[in-house]
Structure 1
Amino acid sequence: MAILFKQPRQWFERINGSNNMLWLLGTLSFLETIILPIPMELVLIPLMAVNRQRLWRLATVTTAGCLIASLVGYSVGLLLYQSVGTWFIESLDMQESYQAFQTFFDQYGFIAILSVGFLPLPYHLAMITAGLSGYPILLFALATLIARGLRYFGLAWLVYRFGHRVLILWKRHAMLTSLVAGVVVLIVALGMQALTTLI
C-alpha cells in the first residue's frame, strides 16, 4: 500500500513542476483509463488543490484523456477483440467480470456504460464490450463524457469548496462514494427508461 501512494506522489511532483503540466495530466488520464491500476484521484486532487486557479482546465484535460483512451478501447473491441481484446481481458484476469458485464450491457446499453463510469469497476469492461457489440460510437462517447465528466468536474468543485481536505475524505470514503453514486445513477436512469415506456 505504501508503494501505491508513493508513486502518485512522485507523479504529482513531476507533473506539477513541469511546463507541460496539462499534457502530462492528459497522458496520465489516458494511461489510467487504459491500463494503470492507480486511481487518478490520488494525483488529481493534490494537483487541483495547489492549482486552484486552473481547476476547471485540469478537469477538462483529465476528462479528455479518459475519453480518448475510451475510444481506443472501443476500437480494440470493435476491430481487434479476437487478438488484443482477449489477451487484454485475460492479462487483467477480468474474464468473469467481462461476462457479467456483457449480460448487463446487452440489457441496458447506455445505462450500463454510464453506471460503470461511476462504480468501482474497470472501465475496460465498458470500452471493449461496447466496441465488440458495435454499439453506436457517439452514444458510447456521450455516456463516457457524462460519467467521467461528472466525476472529474465534481471533484474540481469539491476541491474548490474544501481544498486539501478532499483527498483525506476521498481516501476514507472512495469505495462507498463510488458505489452510492453508481447506484443512484443506475436507479435514476432505469426510472427514466421505465417512464419513457409508459408514455
Structure 2
Amino acid sequence: MDLYAVATEMVKNYGYIGIFIISFTEAFIQPIPPDIFIISAPFFGLNPIISAIVASIGTTLGGLFGYYLGYKLGHPIFVKLFGEKYLQKGEEFFNKYGVYGIVLAGFTPIPYKVVAWLSGIFEIRALIFTIATVVGRAPRFLIEAFFGNILSNFSINKLYNLNIYLFYLINSHYNHILDIIMLLISKTVYPIVFITTTLIYLKNRKLGLKLAFSLFLAVLIIFSLKYLINEPRPYIVLENVHLLCFEGNEPSFPSGHTTYAFTLATSLLLNYSKKIGLLFLIWAIFVGYSRVYVGVHYSFDVIGGLIIGIFCGYLTKLNIEKFIERLKLIDIWRKIKKKS
C-alpha cells in the first residue's frame, strides 16, 4: 500500500481533518509527515496557516500518545517497532541534548515518533515534553505555511514571467568590457574544473576520486534533466537577446557550467581549504551570472545548477568507500588508499 497516496487522498477528501490525522499518527507510528501537505495546502483548497495550526495540534496530541505508549510499553515493544539501533541512538541523543533534543527533533527531520516513544521510556515529564513539542514543531509548520502562502501567490505563468524578467534584467545590461570578462569566465569553466580536479587528484587521490565521481554524477543529473524538461534556450524563443556564444539546440535547464562550478567549489570548501573554497565559490557565482549575461541560460537554469552543484559537491564529504566496495572495486580502492 502506498501510504503517501493514501495520505494525499485523505487531505484531498477530508481537508483539515486529513492533515490532523496524518500529523497525529506520524507523531507516534506512521512515516508520512504533514509538512508537504502544509506547503501545498493551497492546491488542496486549504489555508496554509490553518493547516499549520491543525498539524501542530495533531502532532502534539500524537506525540503525547507516543509518549504514553513508550511509558507504558517500554523497551521491548519499541525495539520490535523501530529496532535496537534506534534505542541506542536515542539514548545517546538524550544524554547529549536532554530536553533540548525534543525541540531539536521537532524542528528537524529527525523521526519524531522515535523521540516521542523514547521520552516516555526515559520518563521525561509529560508537561516538559508537551512544551518542547510545541516549541519545536509549531515554528517549523508555520515556516512551511509561509512558503505555502508564497506558492499560492505564484502561478506557473508568474514564475515563467519572473524567469524572463530576471533574464532580461541581467542580459540587457551590458558593455564591451563586461562582454569580454563574462565571455572569458563562461568559456574557461571546463578547463578550470578539469585542471583543478587533476591537481587535487595528484595531491590527494582519495579526494580527487571523490570529486571526479561527484562531477560524473552531476553530468548524469544534468543531461537527464535537460532532456526530460527539454526547455529551449532563451535565444531560441526570446527577442533582443544579447548573445555572445551559441550553444546550439541543446536544452537549457539546468546550467551545466554552473553545476560543475558549484560542485568544484563546494568540494574544495568542505574538504580542502576554506579560503580556496570561498574563492572558488565566488568564481562559481560569477559563472552562473555569466551564463545569463552571455545569453545562453535563464536565471532559473542557474539556480537549478547551483542546487545540483552544491548537492554533488557535498557528496565528496561523505564516505564512499562502502559504495565503491559494492561495485567490486575493493582492490583498486585499497591501492589508492595506500598511495594517498
TM-score clears 0.5 = yes
1:71 Cα deviation after fit: 0.5
Query: CA 1:162 to 1:70, structure 2 compared with 1: closer, same or farther past 3 Å?
Result: same
Query: CA 1:10 to 1:62, structure 2 compared with 1: closer, same or farther past 3 Å?
Result: same
Given that residues 48 and 156 in structure 1 are in contact (C-alpha distance below 8 angstroms), is that contact kept between their aligned partners in structure 2?
no
- The residue number in structure 1 matching 2:50 is 57
- The residue number in structure 2 matching 1:127 is 116
1:74 Cα deviation after fit: 1.0
Instruction: Please point out which of 77, 88, 91 is paired with 1:87.
Output: 77
Given that residues 48 and 58 in structure 1 are in contact (C-alpha distance below 8 angstroms), is that contact kept between their aligned partners in structure 2?
no
Counterparts in 2 of 1:22-101, with a 5 A limit? Answer: 22-51=16-45, 54-81=47-74, 86-93=76-83, 95-101=84-90
Q: AA paired with 2:40?
A: P
TM norm structure 1: 0.67
Cα distance in 2 for partners of 1:74, 1:27 equals 17
Query: CA 1:27 to 1:131, structure 2 compared with 1: closer, same or farther past 3 Å?
Result: same
1:62 Cα deviation after fit: 0.7
Alpha-carbon displacement from aligned partner over 1:16-54 (angstroms, at most 9, x marks no partner)? xxxxx33332122111222222232233332244446x3
Percent identity reads 24
Identify unmatched segments of 5+ residues in structure 1. Answer: 16-20, 166-171, 177-199
Q: AA paired with 1:91?
A: L
Identify unmatched segments of 5+ residues in structure 2. Answer: 155-306, 312-340
Q: How many residues align?
A: 157
Query: CA 1:137 to 1:99, structure 2 compared with 1: closer, same or farther past 3 Å?
Result: same
- The residue number in structure 1 matching 2:215 is none
Counterparts in 2 of 1:1-199, with a 5 A limit? Answer: 3=2, 6-15=5-14, 21-51=15-45, 54-81=47-74, 86-93=76-83, 95-163=84-152
Cα distance in 1 for partners of 2:18, 2:8 equals 14
Q: Any runs of at least 4 consecutive aligned residues in structure 1 with deviations exceeding 3 A, and if so which? A: 3-9, 48-52
Cα distance in 2 for partners of 1:30, 1:107 equals 27
SS at match of 1:80: helix
Cα distance in 2 for partners of 1:62, 1:110 equals 22
The structure having more radius of gyration, on CA atoms, is: 2
1:87 Cα deviation after fit: 2.0
Given that residues 11 and 43 in structure 1 are in contact (C-alpha distance below 8 angstroms), is that contact kept between their aligned partners in structure 2?
no
1:6 Cα deviation after fit: 3.5
Over the aligned positions, Cα root-mean-square deviation in angstroms equals 2.8
1:131 Cα deviation after fit: 1.4
Given that residues 32 and 38 in structure 1 are in contact (C-alpha distance below 8 angstroms), is that contact kept between their aligned partners in structure 2?
yes
SS at match of 2:107: coil
Query: CA 1:46 to 1:107, structure 2 compared with 1: closer, same or farther past 3 Å?
Result: closer
Q: AA paired with 2:67?
A: Y
Query: CA 1:138 to 1:60, structure 2 compared with 1: closer, same or farther past 3 Å?
Result: same
Cα distance in 1 for partners of 2:134, 2:17 equals 19
Cα distance in 2 for partners of 1:30, 1:5 equals 15
TM norm structure 2: 0.41
Higher helix share: 1
Given that residues 74 and 128 in structure 1 are in contact (C-alpha distance below 8 angstroms), is that contact kept between their aligned partners in structure 2?
yes
Query: CA 1:12 to 1:151, structure 2 compared with 1: closer, same or farther past 3 Å?
Result: same
